[in-house]
Chain A
């Protein structure tokens, strides 16, 4: 039995993250993490006719890059697991339809990177695959068009709002090989604390992230201090503050080793992104471009990566329903400093 608690499983052998690739739009490239991304586009259309097709191109280009960085070919990949925010996940499906790899489509809203990495690692650990390609994408313009208003409409964004990241992040998971390893997975439950404000997603998702952290620490007997880095997906400044407060009440101290990908990816002041970045790509590209190299070099030896998602639709919001949140946790061990192999 690999289960070590109510929500946590320990993989019998760690699953290696063989490669990580990130492709982003111009705003992300201008941000504080700009220099870390693999591919950057000059405009959000990426040479396509529509925002939706542009998102699919981000997916295709980046998925191919991830495979290439792992020194593999697409026929070496047993499964591809990915998802996005667009209706029926067409951002993903149209992006990977030419890759010719068996596909499981996922929807976990902005937690999709965590969901895909969790399931991919389980597929490998279960002995069903040698290589799994997992990823997640989002596109600011396509998301605005679907969830909010047409872009040319002159509206003000409230200070609690977040900015959807344009891009795709993808990793190749492998049974064998050198690289950072996924060792444990804590799967989140849906938590709905009654927040209905679609302009305050961080507050809507924070309880799910806090519940996941608590479940993880209880299942493993660890504390936040056992990790070099803890990163939630796209809670932004307000959501992070709420998670710290909620966990404090449970007796766990989250200090400055805890950050949120939505805080890291944009400079809120200069880039006018208010509470921070959001979207499936937020945690995906931040992990691939920023945390993965640190795990590889041993700067981070053990991290808890927790993509977060808001599971609502425009219909549910218009019908006055509150926003259910979800979070998926992965424990990833980096390479030891100075170790020849890892």
Chain B
């Protein structure tokens, strides 16, 4: 599983690198693209297979973040119906987002801007 995670995760990053070098895409755009693609693939039920195959190799890249949004929305719809469209996505991604806010706050408290 470790090797599969390494190879699949690495390959997903290589696609991002090709986009940076060949299309001069900014990193923020790549992150957006990856989340959307992951979410759609999750919606189509394709990303689940990649997760089963590669584990963290599929979930650690930002496509995995999108996948989690899709999974969350589907599960919530199954549970509570239409309202799940509004509640499922962010709920599933809440750990990542909340952790980012919390650690960013902590970092800003203690760290000073540095020159390169």
Q: Which residues of B contact A44 (CB under 8 A)?
A: 115
Question: Contact: B113 with A151, CB < 8 Å?
Answer: yes
Question: Contact: B113 with A156, CB < 8 Å?
Answer: no
Question: Contact: B20 with A141, CB < 8 Å?
Answer: no
Question: Contact: A51 with B24, CB < 8 Å?
Answer: no
Q: Tell me what chain B mostly uses at the interface: helix, strand, loop, or mixed.
A: loop
Chain B contributes a number of interface residues (CB within 8 A of A) equal to 7
Question: Contact: B27 with A155, CB < 8 Å?
Answer: yes
Question: Contact: B115 with A140, CB < 8 Å?
Answer: yes
Among B20, B24, B114, point to the contact of A152 (Cβ < 8 A): B114
Q: How many angstroms between the C-alpha atoms of A26 and B43 in the bound complex?
A: 52
| Interface status of B116 (Cβ within 8 A of chain A) | yes
Question: Contact: A51 with B27, CB < 8 Å?
Answer: no
Q: How far is the CB of A169 from chain B (nearest CB, A)?
A: 20
Among B24, B27, B113, point to the contact of A141 (Cβ < 8 A): B113
Q: How far is the CB of B71 from chain A (nearest CB, A)?
A: 28
Q: Which residues of B contact A156 (CB under 8 A)?
A: 20
User: Which residues of B (72-110) have their CB < 8 Å from a CB of A?
Assistant: none
Q: Which residues of A contact B113 (CB under 8 A)?
A: 51, 141, 150-152
Question: Taking each of B24, B113, B114, which has the highest tally of chain A beta carbons within 10 Å of its own beta carbon?
Answer: B113
Q: How many angstroms between the C-alpha atoms of A197 and B26 in the bound complex?
A: 12
Q: Which residues of B contact A197 (CB under 8 A)?
A: 24
Encode contact with A along B23-56: 1 for CB under 8 Å, 0 otherwise: 0100100000000000000000000000000000
Among A151, A158, A199, point to the contact of B116 (Cβ < 8 A): A151
| Interface status of A43 (Cβ within 8 A of chain B) | yes
Q: How many angstroms between the C-alpha atoms of A51 and B113 in the bound complex?
A: 9
Interface size bucket, A side? 10 to 19
Q: How many angstroms between the C-alpha atoms of A153 and B114 in the bound complex?
A: 11
Q: Which residue of A lies closest to B116 (CB)?
A: A151
Q: How far is the CB of B11 from chain A (nearest CB, A)?
A: 19
Q: Which residues of B contact A141 (CB under 8 A)?
A: 113, 115-116
Question: Contact: A199 with B24, CB < 8 Å?
Answer: yes
Among B24, B114, B115, point to the contact of A158 (Cβ < 8 A): B24
Encode contact with A along B1-28: 1 for CB under 8 Å, 0 otherwise: 0000000000000000000100010010
Q: How many angstroms between the C-alpha atoms of A45 and B114 in the bound complex?
A: 9
Q: How many angstroms between the C-alpha atoms of A143 and B113 in the bound complex?
A: 14
Q: Which residue of B lies closest to A199 (CB)?
A: B24
Q: Which residue of A lies closest to B107 (CB)?
A: A152
Q: Which residue of B lies closest to A144 (CB)?
A: B116
Q: Which residues of A contact B115 (CB under 8 A)?
A: 25, 43-45, 140-141, 151
Q: How far is the CB of A229 from chain B (nearest CB, A)?
A: 31
Q: How far is the CB of A272 from chain B (nearest CB, A)?
A: 9
Q: Which residues of B contact A140 (CB under 8 A)?
A: 115-116
Q: Which residues of A contact B20 (CB under 8 A)?
A: 156
Encode contact with B along A37-58: 1 for CB under 8 Å, 0 otherwise: 0000001110000010000000
Q: Which residues of B contact A51 (CB under 8 A)?
A: 113
In the A-B complex, the 10 residue pairs with the smallest Cβ-Cβ separation, listed nearest first, are: A44-B115, A141-B115, A155-B27, A151-B113, A151-B116, A151-B114, A156-B20, A43-B115, A158-B24, A197-B24
* B residues adjacent to A (C-beta < 8 A): 20, 24, 27, 113-116
User: With A25-B115, A141-B115, A156-B20 given, can you name 11 additional A-B contacts, CB distance below 8 Å?
Assistant: A44-B115, A45-B115, A51-B113, A140-B116, A141-B113, A151-B114, A151-B115, A153-B27, A155-B27, A158-B24, A199-B24
